[in-house]
Chain A
Amino acid sequence: MSDTVRIIGVTEDSFDTKTFEFQWDERASPGQFIMVWMPGMEEIPMSLSKTDRIKSITVKNIGADTHKLHSLGIGDPIRIRGPYGKGFDIKKGARMLIVGGGVGIAAVIPVVKETGADTIIGAKTEKEIIMDDVAGKYSKNLWISTDDGSRGYMGNAVQLMREKAAEKEYDVVLACGPEVMLYHLYNACTELDIDCQFSLERHMKCGVGVCGSCMMDDVRICKDGPVLNREQISKLKDFGTSKMDECGRRVNLG
């Protein structure tokens, strides 16, 4: 349900990304999201980057609404509703590899903490890497890739995943990041016959599975997702290819 909560902590994760903590007693599981609003911005969906009693959202400053959120300080109120959707299905004993691309690491970091599984963080450059300290503390192995090689492996997260999967056996890849990364990661998982669970994103309005704005084929990302498994993703023609705009028009992904 909805609540108005106050910010109790702000962390600067990088030059353009901040994490805002608040106390909220609703039970939430890793991979679930909330709708966030305050006057002066449009309400937007945000994954939870902490899912215990103290919860958080991690905001990359990419537009007017995230810019507004970046103005928040300790004690400031935000209106949130949720938690919504289906999160990651964490199976005990499964050999997991977690992949976070860019700010997408924020949606999977609760799983890293819960499981200590091997983790890959991918980013364009060194300065866009976030949460490597937390991931390093909890994960058994942490590997980092940057497109320009400014830190760690030079290349993208999918190339690094293929190398690691060749060295070590995994049952499932859990990931969040740009759709183009997830698209190639899905292809890699299919080729290597590794299961996967990805957190996906579409334009959201209601958040509760009634308005139909966030459909990928016949799947509601807000309610049936946002985390979908390999079998579910395999049926989606829209995955990696098209999305709907606010009018409900189909738009091809670049």
Chain B
Amino acid sequence: MVLRKGGWREWIAAGATISVLFIAVTAGQTAWAGPNTATSPADPHKVIHAAFVAADDGFDIARTYNAYSIWVAESIFEPLLTYDYLARPAELVPLTATAMPEVEDGGKTYIFHVKKGIYFTPDPAFKGQRRELTAQDYVYTFERLLDPAIHSPSAYLLSGRIVGLDALVARARKTGHFDYDAPVAGLSAPDRYTLKVQLTHPDFNFLYAVAYPALAAVAREVITEYGAQSGAHPVGTGPYQLSQYVPRSKIVLTANPDYRGYIWNFKSTGSAWDDQLVREMRGKHMPQVGRVEISIIEEDQSRWLAFEGGQLDLVGLPQSAAPIVMDGDRLKPAFAKQGIRLYRQVLPAITYTLFNMRDPVLGGDSPAKIALRRAIAMSYDIDKEITLIRQNQATQAEMIVPEGVVGHDPNYRSSIPYDRDLANRLLDHFGYKRGADGYRRLPDGKPLVVHLTQEPDSLSRQYGELWKRGLDKIGIRLNITVSNFADNLKAATQCKLAMWQSAWQADYPEAENFLQLLYGPNIGQGNNSCYESKAYDALYRKFLATPPGPARNALVIEMNRQEEADTPWILGVSPVSNWLVRPWVEGFKRHPIMESDWQYLDVVKH
């Protein structure tokens, strides 16, 4: 998913449309006619107070890849598969499927069996009927992701992968109407609880896609009933339901009384942290937490003070507060004494600054243009970013694929150093001559100005300062444009920004999720650099066809080298996340891929 650069927790900001939807939802409060078989063991007196760094974007995950939307949606909707809570690196386990799918046809056919007796939370859209989850719901959900009317940012998960589905999409593009009732050869429900998926080619990451929240079952009646408002009316089968929603301010989740529940029985990976979790949680009927209150607090300082003041039970430590809370990688005694615990991990994420390869000044394949981008990359003092701005809560990213993701090579070193002197020599060589004012001109004598787009927050300004310092030293004039994140993302998607700082966090723990950001055909849907390289694209296609193993990893290295050669990106860092947890919260372990964790937690009396 796209992360907001800056504080690592500052992710995608909400889209502009949601601000007009001031709706308080009272889902699930309408009594329904069927027999009540309330099974959720959740205790309404166990409350978790949490905070989000940015607003969500509604909870219709087909329409958004906002991390905060996903965070909430993961506790409301259920995909067929999910990740094991404790296993690292992340490992898939069945969720609404009875078991991992049967794979036939050399990796081209997947057969899932959906558990019987899972019900959607009651909603007026069901007209008083109890609504069971069936395989057909997954057929609908999968198809909907590719419906052209939805414009799903996650469409790439299925696009071109399922036999017959793309033909249906092409027809929908022509007629303007997606025919959900038309049979699709590769996506069918042979009986009520069986889902059969046939892929166009063997795909080694398909199951990761199945576990992605955008493929969590939604009910067709609900989507039809609410139409464009579906984001404010999430109706799922998961452990929680939305009970209060004030966009951009507050979200309250309550336990879904009809949820089937499960018993906490995850296996420790052997770390002391995991062992303690197992001691605390094993055998408990889940979920325990009956109510989750989420406030959206955008300012780091306010969020930190809210935690310190006891208004939050857990918080992602803002990096600006790191020096007062931590000594290196552990808590200061003052905080440890309060019983606060620290969970620390390098995120499977990277930050990067992208060049628009179609920009008249910065884009292009000629050696002079490559040299310009390379020189800019070599002028940026990443070490200062880590020490001064990120307060040491990050590690330098050497390759596109970060730690914790399959394909990452810890011994890999980037070929682009921080070296302003070399950058100057490179520019001199290609005839970017300095004028009387000390700033360089283009080789044809025209003025050279580099435009960087940023967001209007104080962290962005610090990155801006660092950029300006670096570029001044190599004689390149920098112009910074400030606009809000949603507009910037839109402009970047349309290849209209020259330079923009961005970030990406793994949707699933495999290199493809990162490498697809530079694949030519993905321009307009994630490839915001608008980078089209025949060499890279050929490698990428070869990579997709190679099964997991050393051969596949070797291709990842090749693609990294190709990226460095063309320099469409300047790689930044992998942020370190620090979570602080109050002593009464049990069972906390931050998952690198899943956002939501409330269904795994317990709160003891305090």
A binds B: no
Which B residues are within 8 Å of any A CB, using their own CB? none
